[in-house]
Amino acid sequence: MFTFEIHKKDESTKARLGQMTTAHGVVDTPAFMPVATQATVKSLSPKEIEDIGFQMVISNAYHLYLRPGHKTVEKLGGLHKFMSWNNSITTDSGGYQVLSLSKTRKIKDDGILFRSHLDGSEHMFTPEKCIEIQESLGVDIMMCLDECPPFPSTKEYMRKSIDLTTRWAKLCRSSKKHTDNALFGIVQGGVYKDLRVQSANDLIDIGFEGYAVGGLGIGEDPEQTYETTENTLSVLPVDKPRYLMGLGKPEDIVTAVSMGVDLFDCVIPTRNARNGTLFTSRGKLVIKNAQFAEDERPIDEGCECYTCRTFSRAYLRHLYIAKETLVLRLLTIHNLYFYAELMKGIRSSILSGDFPNYLSRVQSLGGEKEN
């Protein structure tokens, strides 16, 4: 059971307000998925993630295959039961690990040979295996196996790469057995417009429940990221959800929404929190800075998250400098609350017709630091 409906479109941009419905509930779009690579959003419980306001998380099929094993998760009732998350789940296929684990893998015509970063054992990831793993996990949205090439790559290499991704996408589509979940194809092609168009059209011919834009945010200029995203979206079906993979700065999210993107994921809010960098309504704040040692204010005086309602900047800085584990939870709560409110603001502004003003306000915060 998977459906997608568009309820309203912004009149002056391509932003749209909609809903994805999965076997585990409704996801209001545009939506952001916190990253739960190992079946957990680092430092927080599933109940906390839900209470903050998220309706979907994204886990990683490759990592869960290695540990604890997809068959183990299946035997224990599936990923939802295993991690006590009753809402929707997406899984990345492992295609991004082609890039991030480039020193320990080999790309072959029939799949990817990985050497485990845990024990050195070798594992062959074929498109068929990729679907088997994700169906065993019982997730709501599965991603096709793809190759995520590095930036920069030559056009010749990229052309061969998208041919491989298309062949794998066909095999993923034909291997899918379950009918109650969705399979998304992933458009590749680097920053080459004609190859992006070719990749998108190839995937449309195969037919998927949704389409992702992959292979961006890996070293190209922001202008190239935006231009490539917009060019790709112009080809993709307007009645299917569009997912921009891995980009997650607030200004990137609102800009991509203005182009017609519906779904996002990124480690930025959680990773930045663990590194002491916080998002506020006035820009970024680095909590370890000495200027906050006696600051009685919350992280963001306009924020209603548990951390801001309860603790001062001075206390949070103390915890961070003292390397207390509590600070990881408190800072992560704040950053994810900021992102949940960002997405709520996007959706409400599209509904009210005020999205262009909201877009300008968020874009103006990009790179700003609060004093």
Q: Give CB contacts under 8 A, 24+ apart, made by 339-343.
A: 339/32, 339/34, 339/250, 339/269, 339/279, 340/32, 340/52, 340/53, 340/54, 341/53, 341/303, 342/32, 342/250, 342/253, 342/254, 343/30, 343/31, 343/32, 343/53, 343/253
pLDDT band at 98 (very low <50, low <70, confident <90, very high): low
- 349-358 per-position pLDDT tens digit: 999 999 999 9
Q: What is the pLDDT of residue 99?
A: 65
Q: Say which residue the tokens 């112009």 belong to.
A: 234
Question: Once rounded to an integer, what is the mean pLDDT over residues 297-318?
Answer: 98
Q: Is 172 within 8 Å of 139 (Cβ atoms)?
A: no
- Looking at every residue in the chain, the average pLDDT score rounds to 96
Question: Once rounded to an integer, what is the mean pLDDT over residues 322-346?
Answer: 98
The answer to whether the bond into 222 is cis (omega within 30° of 0) is: no
- Spatial distance between the Cα atoms of 191 and 196, rounded to a whole number of angstroms: 8
Q: What is the pLDDT of residue 328?
A: 98
pLDDT band at 320 (very low <50, low <70, confident <90, very high): very high
- 174-198 per-position pLDDT tens digit: 999 999 999 999 999 999 999 999 9
Q: What is the pLDDT of residue 97?
A: 75
- 224-264 per-position pLDDT tens digit: 999 999 999 999 999 999 999 999 999 999 999 999 999 99
Architecture (CATH level 2) of domain 3-260:
Alpha-Beta Barrel (3.20)
Question: Once rounded to an integer, what is the mean pLDDT over residues 100-110?
Answer: 83
Question: Once rounded to an integer, what is the mean pLDDT over residues 45-63?
Answer: 97
Q: Is 319 within 8 Å of 332 (Cβ atoms)?
A: no
Q: What is the pLDDT of residue 350?
A: 98
- Spatial distance between the Cα atoms of 42 and 319, rounded to a whole number of angstroms: 18
Question: Once rounded to an integer, what is the mean pLDDT over residues 317-323?
Answer: 98
pLDDT of 371 > 60? The answer is: no
Q: Which sequence positions are flagged as catalytic?
A: 92, 265
Angle between helical axes of 355-364 and 326-352 (0-180°, round to 10): 150
- Spatial distance between the Cα atoms of 76 and 52, rounded to a whole number of angstroms: 27
pLDDT band at 101 (very low <50, low <70, confident <90, very high): confident
Question: Once rounded to an integer, what is the mean pLDDT over residues 120-135?
Answer: 95
Question: Once rounded to an integer, what is the mean pLDDT over residues 82-98?
Answer: 90
Q: What is the pLDDT of residue 281?
A: 96
Question: Once rounded to an integer, what is the mean pLDDT over residues 24-48?
Answer: 98
pLDDT band at 72 (very low <50, low <70, confident <90, very high): very high
Question: Once rounded to an integer, what is the mean pLDDT over residues 271-276?
Answer: 98
CA 95 and chain centroid, separation: 14
Q: What is the pLDDT of residue 47?
A: 98
* Structural domain spans, the chain: 3-260, 273-363
Q: What is the pLDDT of residue 370?
A: 67
Q: What is the pLDDT of residue 62?
A: 93
pLDDT band at 11 (very low <50, low <70, confident <90, very high): very high
